Structure 1
Amino acid sequence: MLPRLWLLSDARNDAVLAEALVTMPEGSGFVFRHYHLGPPERRERWEMLRSIVRSKNHLLVLSGGADQGKEWEADGIYGPPGKLGKRLGLLRFATAHDAREIHLANRIGADALFLSPVFPTRSHPDGRALGATLFHQLAERSSIPVIALGGMTAERARELAVTRWAAIDGLS
């Protein structure tokens, strides 16, 4: 069963991640990105957060390749559908921003996709948000579960009537 609530890591929420992970409902999902760190520091931060994630029975997903995901003992990997590669016993979570990427995620048999940005975000301040109508139109094209991402909060998830959503700032 896929979690309904997801937290994604980012440089700007790093200082509050431990607290956010502890307060999230048990069995939520966590995507570790931390692109701002070099390889040794990124692995060290992963190890620090992994114990919290495991203690709360959260799903632990790494932004990276399948080989790295296996090595780091992740539950799954996260990235563009064209870069998810082989399964290696891991869940695969595709990122999608348009119909083409949704088609690719469907075709490779990803386990779910993060469709974004639904609303304007600090991550992509100049980017074009999908908005509710286009989000729903695109989500209908998916044969796999969709997780709404981008400017999401609990209130916006209710307004969109989505069962799965993710946030960076909205949960940290």
Structure 2
Amino acid sequence: MRRRHSQRLPETWLFTDPRMGEALWDAIRRLPRGSGIVLRHYNEADRTAIARRAARLARRYGHMLVVAGDSRLARAVGAAGVHMPDGGRPTGDVITAASHDRAGLVRARRAGASLAFLSPVFPTASHPGARTLGPLRFGLMARGTSIAVAALGGITPKRYARMQALAAQAWGAIDAWNK
């Protein structure tokens, strides 16, 4: 998938989460070569060390790393750019963005993102009890925008195969890589 940025964007993405602990490193190793990683360790005291290690592994396995909400850290570790949280302010080279509704997709496009992660499609362990979009609403929103849209939230390889018919151009997950 190629959009606004010169680099080809991965179809498969890992979203990091502090609850992964040390399993994060195994998850990165298990990703298909050329996958994307969104580093979301926002409030960890050792965020810089985590980002450096993730960047080293990303380079080793041919993955694209983007850092959520921190262009300075993204540049410091040699990441491809920034992932903008939904409602966040664009900083630096925004490559991906989080979206939870149509307005979020518009914000992502205006920020210059090449890919918007629309979520949550299905129930997810990282946001228990959150209202889900469901496949139908996801498809209506994804088809109604000019930005590439990725499915996030309870997505597995099997679910992604079904979501492609609903305009999903990529997918991301946290827990799909912990098994």
Do Structure 1 and Structure 2 share a fold, with TM-score over 0.5? yes
Aligned to 2:37: 30
Aligned to 2:5: none
What does 1:67-86 correspond to in 2, within 5 Å? Answer: 67-80=72-85, 82-86=87-91
Amino acid at match of 1:52: L
Contact 1:139-1:146 at 8 Å conserved across structures: yes
Amino acid at match of 1:156: R
Contact 1:102-1:141 at 8 Å conserved across structures: no
Q: Which runs of structure 1 show a deviation greater than 6 angstroms over 4 or more consecutive aligned residues?
A: none
Contact 1:8-1:168 at 8 Å conserved across structures: yes
Q: TM-score by structure 2 length?
A: 0.86
**101-110 vs 111-120, which deviates more?**
101-110
Contact 1:66-1:84 at 8 Å conserved across structures: no
Does the C-alpha gap of structure 1 residues 36 and 104 become closer, same or farther in structure 2, counting only changes over 3 Å?
closer
**Gapped runs of 5+ residues in structure 1?**
none
Aligned-pair distance for 1:165?
Answer: 0.4
Aligned residues: 168
Q: TM-score by structure 1 length?
A: 0.89
Aligned to 1:138: 141
Contact 2:68-2:85 at 8 Å conserved across structures: no
Aligned-pair distance for 1:73?
Answer: 1.9
Contact 1:65-1:83 at 8 Å conserved across structures: no
CA distance, structure 2, for counterparts of residue 81 and residue 123 of structure 1: 16
What does 1:13-162 correspond to in 2, within 5 Å? Answer: 13-38=20-45, 41-80=46-85, 82-87=87-92, 90-161=93-164, 162=168
Aligned to 2:12: 5
Amino acid at match of 1:66: S
Secondary structure at 2:106 match in 1? helix
Secondary structure at 2:96 match in 1? strand
Does the C-alpha gap of structure 1 residues 18 and 80 become closer, same or farther in structure 2, counting only changes over 3 Å?
closer
Secondary structure at 1:83 match in 2? coil
